[in-house]
């Protein structure tokens, strides 16, 4: 079993006062993690499944007397896939405010149904965490560095979902995962009536990983208007399928400031969308895969370590580029990403002269693990 970084962090916040919220993509192990924690604590717990119509009906806008009766025998109450339960935030607020000595835990695969529903009612009443597909550090800590490094090419192609790492039928599992199940919340909660348009947009985004994305060009490619592209990408972000990286621009005369790059939370999902599971040696998109993998691993690392950094890419109007930049309290750190460990690079003096980065790193397959 791969021990998740958040196990100890979540367990330490069980205080029977504030609610615990665990967000993240479907199938990354949220339910498994919470069940493991509740079983290890050895207290009676109630598991409410938001994907179950009967549970949804029972827990949609219940009155307080019913809530008290339902949870009375249990110390822990878990609302799984809570984004599908209407007004769940108000229900949890009633439990927390009543000081019933109950620990409430909420999991959700989409901010679509949980965003406003839980943020305002639970202000000051919650601990919030995000669980991602398996992080490099979790693999390393489970299997050792010596056994994890040979897995790198597989991770670039098949990604880091727990089931994909642990099972043999990787392509079939990914094809299933990247199909309608991946879009379940987007289609139902986002009100999308043409899933084929969403699929075409995802395919276009998958082909452009590592490149700057134009919403106007995407609209032409997919055959929809720019506003719909913007709306759909927002839905994909809220469902933990993709995320945006914006350009660093403090010198408008010399830098681009309105573009963006879009990455996938998981390489395997990206490859399943374009149906390409070829090994690294047979691919012409290794640079894009490497960029998506490393930047996403940095996102996981920074989130889990609670590091106060902002992430950017950079490009000048003369087309000088920096693949990835982190901005912390003590300045900028710049990263150039090359899969081939024989390649060298020079950092743009336009960038270094203006931003004075405290560190610059050339990251390749031989040294990347030092940063994760």
Rounded CA separation 272/226 (Å)? 25
Rg, Å, the chain Cα set: 22
User: How confident is the model over 259-273, as a mean pLDDT?
Assistant: 96
Task: Compute CA distances 230 → 195, 201, 345, whole Å.
Answer: 16, 11, 35
33 near 10, Cβ under 8 Å? yes
321 near 254, Cβ under 8 Å? no
The pTM assigned to this predicted structure is 0.94
pLDDT tens-digit readout, 28-44:
999 999 999 999 999 99
User: How confident is the model over 98-116, as a mean pLDDT?
Assistant: 83
Check residue 180 and give its pLDDT: 67
Q: Is the pLDDT of residue 190 over 80?
A: no
pLDDT tens-digit readout, 303-361:
999 999 999 999 998 889 999 999 999 999 999 999 999 999 999 999 999 999 999 99
Burial of 241 (0-12, 13-18, 19+ CB in 10 A): buried
**% the chain with pLDDT above 90:** 77
**Which structural domains are found in the chain, ordered by start?**
6-130 (3.40.50.300), 136-191+230-371 (no CATH)
Bigger pLDDT: 360 vs 185:
360
Rounded CA separation 188/232 (Å)? 13
User: How confident is the model over 234-242, as a mean pLDDT?
Assistant: 92
The closest alpha carbon to 369, from 211, 130, 147, belongs to 147
């Amino acid at each position: 079993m791969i021990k998740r970084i958040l196990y100890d962090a979540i367990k330490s916040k069980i205080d029977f006062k504030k609610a615990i919220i665990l967000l993240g993509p479907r199938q990354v192990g949220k339910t498994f993690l919470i069940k493991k924690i509740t079983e290890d604590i050895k207290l009676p717990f109630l598991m409410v499944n938001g994907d179950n119509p009967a549970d949804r009906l029972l827990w949609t806008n219940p009155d307080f007397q019913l809530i008290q009766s339902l949870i009375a025998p249990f110390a822990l109450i878990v609302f799984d896939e809570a984004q599908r339960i209407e007004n769940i935030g108000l229900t949890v607020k009633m439990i927390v405010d009543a000081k019933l000595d109950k620990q409430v835990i909420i999991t959700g695969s989409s901010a679509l149904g949980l965003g406003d529903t839980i943020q305002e009612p639970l202000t000051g009443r919650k601990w919030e965490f995000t669980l991602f597909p398996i992080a490099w550090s979790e693999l390393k800590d489970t299997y050792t560095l010596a056994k994890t490094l040979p897995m790198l090419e597989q991770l670039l192609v098949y990604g880091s979902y727990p089931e994909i790492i642990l099972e043999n039928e990787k392509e079939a599992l990914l094809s299933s995962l990247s199909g309608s199940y991946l879009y379940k919340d987007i289609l139902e909660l986002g009100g999308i009536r043409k899933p084929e348009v969403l699929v075409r947009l995802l395919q276009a985004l998958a082909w452009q990983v590592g490149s700057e994305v134009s919403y106007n060009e995407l609209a032409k490619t997919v055959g929809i208007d720019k506003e719909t592209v913007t709306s759909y990408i927002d839905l994909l972000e809220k469902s933990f399928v993709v995320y945006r990286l914006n350009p660093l621009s403090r010198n408008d005369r010399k830098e681009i400031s309105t573009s963006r790059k879009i990455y996938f939370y998981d390489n395997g999902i990206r490859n399943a969308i374009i149906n390409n599971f070829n090994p690294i040696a047979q691919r012409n998109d290794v640079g894009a895969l490497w960029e998506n993998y490393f930047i996403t691993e940095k996102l996981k690392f920074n989130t889990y370590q609670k590091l106060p950094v902002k992430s950017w890419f950079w490009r000048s109007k003369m087309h000088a580029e920096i693949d990835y930049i982190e901005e912390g309290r003590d300045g900028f750190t710049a990263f150039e990403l090359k899969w081939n460990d024989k390649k060298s690079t020079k950092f743009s003096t336009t960038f270094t002269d203006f931003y004075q980065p405290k560190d610059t790193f050339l990251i390749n397959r031989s040294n990347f693990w030092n940063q994760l």
